[in-house]
Amino acid sequence: MLFSPMSTPTLPIQGFRVNALTRLLCSLLLVLVSTAAPLAQADPAVKKAFETRYPDVKVENITRAAFGNLWEIYAGGDILYTDDKVSFLLLGTLVDAATRENITEARLRKLSAIKFSDLPLDQAIRTVIGNGSRKLAVFSDPYCGYCKRFEPDILGLKDVTIYTYLYPIIRPESVPVSKKVWCSKDRVKAWQDLMLRNIDPTAGETCKNPIDEVVTLGRRLRVTGTPTTFFEDGERVAGALTRDIIENKFAAIAGAKK
């Protein structure tokens, strides 16, 4: 979707509102066929021009995009594209036509990566399988259907430690159920009973629990849906992943450590 800054568009980033037309048009796939260019550092003039037009939007990163002689602007958890003069803003998905790689998605994973060691692991349910050498953290809602599909796949992994953050955002009933799971004598069993066998937890919900803190954490990390998985290298992937995808990611992380 192409906008002129003079038209003051509504954008799907913090500080903007999104109208229905924008939601529809932003879903269109943008494919640019061009020679890939190496990423360059931000041009101060581009940053200044953008911030002059949109002073309420915090720019987190600006770099030269890999295609089309565009600038990539990362703000509010989203990626926008523009030219040297910020004479337009481009919303959409940038795809490498030769490899069919979703460039925008790959860049978002890099830009939104976290430091895994900064996660408050004591606020998660810890499940250890095998030697537990490989690690991942999953934000999950007890009423999330995709989370229930995802659970058997991650439990089928070998030598993994799974940190499950109870993230009740789907409906109000998610909050008390999450608290009951946390207050259970065996949290791992209570969670697996609920997600795999549809057995509701029977514990009370008044014990000291981190549910509110986890919701705050998820919002700070911009976790907008469940399941959302964070790998040990800090990259996140939204949605229910297949076991093969997870294994491939683990292999890439292991290879990067060598």
- Among 48, 81, 111, the domain boundary falls at 111
Q: How do 93-96 and 29-32 pair as beta strands? A: parallel
For residues 63-75, give the mean pLDDT.
90
- Among 93, 111, 129, the domain boundary falls at 111
Number of domains forming the structure of the chain: 2
Asked if 98 and 192 sit in the same domain, the reply is: no
Asked if 242 and 132 sit in the same domain, the reply is: yes
pLDDT value of residue 34: 37
Asked if 140 and 94 sit in the same domain, the reply is: no
Single out the residue of 258, 35, 227 nearest to residue 140, CA to CA. 227
Going 109 to 115 to 117 to 123, the CA torsion angle's sign is negative
pLDDT value of residue 194: 98
Asked if 16 and 124 sit in the same domain, the reply is: no
Separation of alpha carbons 18 and 9, rounded Å: 9
pLDDT at residue 2 is higher than 60: no
Q: Enter the tokens of residue 53.
A: 């037009």
Report yes or no: 169 and 218 within 8 Å, Cβ to Cβ. Answer: yes
191 class by beta-carbon count within 10 Å (0-12 exposed, 13-18 middle, 19+ buried): buried
Asked if 60 and 129 sit in the same domain, the reply is: no
Report yes or no: 163 and 132 within 8 Å, Cβ to Cβ. Answer: no
- Among 74, 96, 111, the domain boundary falls at 111
Asked if 208 and 246 sit in the same domain, the reply is: yes
Asked if 138 and 191 sit in the same domain, the reply is: yes
Single out the residue of 148, 142, 137 nearest to residue 231, CA to CA. 137
86 class by beta-carbon count within 10 Å (0-12 exposed, 13-18 middle, 19+ buried): buried
Asked if 226 and 121 sit in the same domain, the reply is: yes
pLDDT at residue 10 is higher than 70: no
Q: How many helices (H) and strands (E) does the chain have?
A: 8, 12
Asked if 143 and 248 sit in the same domain, the reply is: yes
pLDDT at residue 11 is higher than 90: no
Separation of alpha carbons 210 and 214, rounded Å: 6
What CATH number is associated with residue 209? 3.40.30.10
pLDDT value of residue 5: 53
Higher model confidence: residue 96 or residue 28? 96
Cβ neighbours for 189, distance < 8 A, ≥ 6 positions apart: none
Separation of alpha carbons 96 and 161, rounded Å: 35
Helix (H, G, I), strand (E, B) or coil at 238: strand
pLDDT value of residue 14: 39
Asked if 11 and 30 sit in the same domain, the reply is: yes
Single out the residue of 124, 101, 133, 129 nearest to residue 232, CA to CA. 133
pLDDT at residue 27 is higher than 70: no
Q: What percentage of residues in the chain have a pLDDT greater than 70?
A: 84
pLDDT value of residue 66: 84
Mean pLDDT of the chain: 86
Q: How do 2-3 and 29-32 pair as beta strands? A: unpaired
pLDDT band at 37 (very low <50, low <70, confident <90, very high): very low
pLDDT at residue 163 is higher than 90: yes
pLDDT band at 33 (very low <50, low <70, confident <90, very high): very low
For residues 27-56, give the mean pLDDT.
65
Asked if 44 and 94 sit in the same domain, the reply is: yes
Asked if 169 and 239 sit in the same domain, the reply is: yes
Task: Tell me which residue range forms the domain holding 106.
Answer: 2-111
pLDDT value of residue 79: 93
pLDDT at residue 17 is higher than 50: no
Full-model pTM: 0.75
Phi–psi pair at 128, nearest 5 degrees: -110, 125
* Omega before residue 152 within 30° of 0, cis: no
pLDDT tens string 193-225: 999 999 999 999 999 999 999 999 999 999 999
Residues present in the chain in total: 258
Single out the residue of 247, 252, 249, 253 nearest to residue 159, CA to CA. 247
Report yes or no: 136 and 154 within 8 Å, Cβ to Cβ. Answer: yes
